[in-house]
Structure 1
Amino acid sequence: MKWIKNKWVISSLLLLAIFSAVLIHHHLTAKKDDVKYNDYSIKVDKILLFGDKQQYVVGLDKKGRDTGAEPTQNYLVSQERRMQERLANNNHQLEGDYWYLILHDLRTKDFKKRKIDLYKQLYRYDYRLQPWGWDAVYYNGKDYVAVQVTLKEDPDTQNGRSRYLFLDLETERFQEAPQGFDTKTYREEMDMGFGPTNLQEAMDPYHAGIIFWHLSFSGFNDKEKFPKTANINLYQECPEMVKLVQEEKIFEVYLRKGQNTKESVFEDMRHWFAPIGQDKIDVVATNPKTGEQTPINSYQEMEDWWSQN
């Protein structure tokens, strides 16, 4: 009887152990299945370059739409990113998270790709940090991605807690950004105006403007469409760009940083929006109060005219 009783106890314990193992496995599996991820990837399937020096660029997805990929001078930068959903307001790497920067080399015929593990390189520099976002920049003759970071213990980027690091795209190493650098100021460096001039009047039908390192064609709607035909150099020299804007697949092209200055962009606009057969528009600024007209031969003269009128 004692042997039978012991056998029953052992059998019961074995069944209990098996049952517990099944419950634990089910719990772990269910917990794993409950984890959700958000995908923030930017996949570039086609790259187009425009201009006599290929100084304007746009990266398109498989449907021919703008991806938002950003250029430095030598690279178009996109990303592969997956982030686990979380209740806490943080951006450090959790299990299953990844964040890769994809570099498309604009100097090569096939736009050769290279991948940088953003988390890996950042934690190699300082494991206490977490990344929040990035901007492609060109600074002092080098290609960088400026990454906004905070300490992991800080919940967000508000109240001056964040700073920028520069990721050197050649060495793939982080370094401190120049003191006082911020991407807002950097973007505003290439924010240009052309009015009140005949150049602005020539650009107005296309809603064209230079805004934060972009040649923008914005503000069209169901009642007003981008012109189908036009007798200007832009339509003759950049038909693929025009077609994409007409089809509402892109609303801007990107200025390659390091290959564009305010003066060079001013000259490009004078040429692209001039009538076919004319090299460039002879720009004239008109004082709206007096009607006085002043020839403008450079963007510096444009800025000087504004300061005096």
Structure 2
Amino acid sequence: MKVIKSKKSIFFIILLTALLGALFLHHQSPIEEERFRGEYTLDLDDLSFEQIEDEKLVYVTSKTPKQGFNALKVGQNNFYLDDWQFDYSEENRADSHQNEGEYYFINVYDLKTKKFKKRLDIFEIVRHYDPSLGVDLSGDILNIQGQDYIYIRLIKENSSPRIKEILFNVDTEEIIDYSKEFVESKLQFDEVSITSGLWDHLTDSYNLASGFQGIGPGSVKGSKIPDDINISKRYPEIVKKMNSGEGKIYTRRGNISPEEWYDTLMHWFAPVGQDKLSLSITDKETSEVTPINSYEDFLKWKESHQND
């Protein structure tokens, strides 16, 4: 009997050791699926585009709304679908050059016809520009004098502060150096929207995420736009869909200015029968309240508070 018990004990010890070893290896070994993270391009057939506001804006919907629109960007006459996969394993996380299994493509399509134009290999573009530099995830679209550019951040391995920024012309495929003046319109819009309280109002009241690039539901649960404001009367079907978490309104870069976009939002989210939303800015020192009903109102306020 003692021999039997001894054999049983040995068996259970071996089994326990094997299970613990397997558990240890499971946690120590990188799982291939978790090693890579990516943004996989939306299915073109799932996307629908509706031009609104004299083709200054475009409302985009997808048959798979839960997938979101992170992969989609809109320019003046094109739209762009990201398709990338980066290696975030410990050994390659700090290496911004292309490693095995990594890719970064941007597919270019005509905005009106959805016709495919070209497939841009961002890693290859950077290698051709300077093989010593790698790619930091970027890909935003800027429009400069009627031409779309892709914004690309470049970085040296293990040297994150040493970043260079370039702009890639989608049509000519020429590269120019980035300058903050090229994003002045975006920065201006953000300043006006945030300082005047419009950004907070749209977020807090209607669960909307807004910016110069467009406006859409702040979560998959959808926006909360009521029936008694101008946008609901002007675009009832669009509002209905966005309240269900479907779709996003994009600005067509180059077709609409920051002032036009801001004033459009101020009209859309005003009560029915009122032309513009009424916002205000309170001076922190004097408690003076300045009404803001338009982009121009903000610029006048800013000019009078240059020394604040």
Amino acid in structure 1 at the alignment position of 2:73: E
| Contact 2:58/2:252 (<8 A) preserved | yes
In structure 1, runs of 5+ residues without a counterpart are 1-32
How do 1:209-224 and structure 2 match up within 5 A? 210-215=210-215, 217-218=217-218
| Contact 2:212/2:258 (<8 A) preserved | no
Shift in Å at residue 63 of structure 1?
1.2
Q: What's the counterpart of residue 248 of structure 1?
A: 245
Percent identity, aligned pairs only, is 17
Q: What's the counterpart of residue 187 of structure 2?
A: 188
* Structure 1 pair 46–307 and aligned structure 2 pair: CA distance change class (3 A): same
SS of aligned partner of 1:190: helix
Shift in Å at residue 205 of structure 1?
3.9
Q: What's the counterpart of residue 98 of structure 2?
A: 93
Residue 41 of structure 2 corresponds to residue 42 of structure 1: yes
Amino acid in structure 2 at the alignment position of 1:226: K
Instruction: State how far apart, in whole Å, the 2-side matches of 1:82 and 1:102 are.
Output: 14
Instruction: State how far apart, in whole Å, the 1-side matches of 2:52 and 2:65 are.
Output: 20
Q: What's the counterpart of residue 232 of structure 1?
A: 229
Q: What's the counterpart of residue 67 of structure 1?
A: 69
Shift in Å at residue 196 of structure 1?
6.7
Match of 1:303 among 295, 299, 303: 299
Residue 276 of structure 2 corresponds to residue 281 of structure 1: yes
Shift in Å at residue 124 of structure 1?
2.0
How big is each residue's C-alpha offset from its partner over 1:232-285, in whole Å with a ceiling of 9 and x where there is no partner?
3312333343123211345x5332222222321133124323455x58338575
| Contact 2:217/2:243 (<8 A) preserved | no
How do 1:121-140 and structure 2 match up within 5 A? 121-134=125-138, 135-140=140-145
Shift in Å at residue 291 of structure 1?
8.2
Q: What's the counterpart of residue 80 of structure 1?
A: 83
Instruction: State how far apart, in whole Å, the 2-side matches of 1:95 and 1:143 are.
Output: 30
Please give the root-mean-square deviation of Cα atoms over the aligned residues, in Å: 4.1
Shift in Å at residue 121 of structure 1?
2.2
How big is each residue's C-alpha offset from its partner over 1:198-219, in whole Å with a ceiling of 9 and x where there is no partner?
9x97997435574353335548
Match of 1:120 among 117, 124, 140: 124
Shift in Å at residue 294 of structure 1?
5.6
SS of aligned partner of 2:228: coil
Shift in Å at residue 82 of structure 1?
2.8
Rg bigger for which structure? 1
How big is each residue's C-alpha offset from its partner over 1:173-223, in whole Å with a ceiling of 9 and x where there is no partner?
4x132445797x77433213388799x97997435574353335548989x
Shift in Å at residue 58 of structure 1?
5.4
- Which consecutive aligned stretches of 4+ in structure 1 deviate over 6 angstroms post-superposition? 194-198, 200-204, 219-222, 286-293
TM-score by length of 2: 0.67
Amino acid in structure 2 at the alignment position of 1:67: F
Shift in Å at residue 78 of structure 1?
1.8
* Structure 1 pair 149–115 and aligned structure 2 pair: CA distance change class (3 A): same
Q: What's the counterpart of residue 21 of structure 2?
A: none
Instruction: State how far apart, in whole Å, the 2-side matches of 1:97 and 1:64 are.
Output: 26
Indicate the larger mover: 137-146 or 283-292: 283-292
* Structure 1 pair 38–187 and aligned structure 2 pair: CA distance change class (3 A): same
| Contact 1:102/1:114 (<8 A) preserved | yes
Q: What's the counterpart of residue 150 of structure 1?
A: 155
* Structure 1 pair 308–246 and aligned structure 2 pair: CA distance change class (3 A): same
SS of aligned partner of 1:122: helix
TM-score by length of 1: 0.67
Instruction: State how far apart, in whole Å, the 2-side matches of 1:55 and 1:143 are.
Output: 15
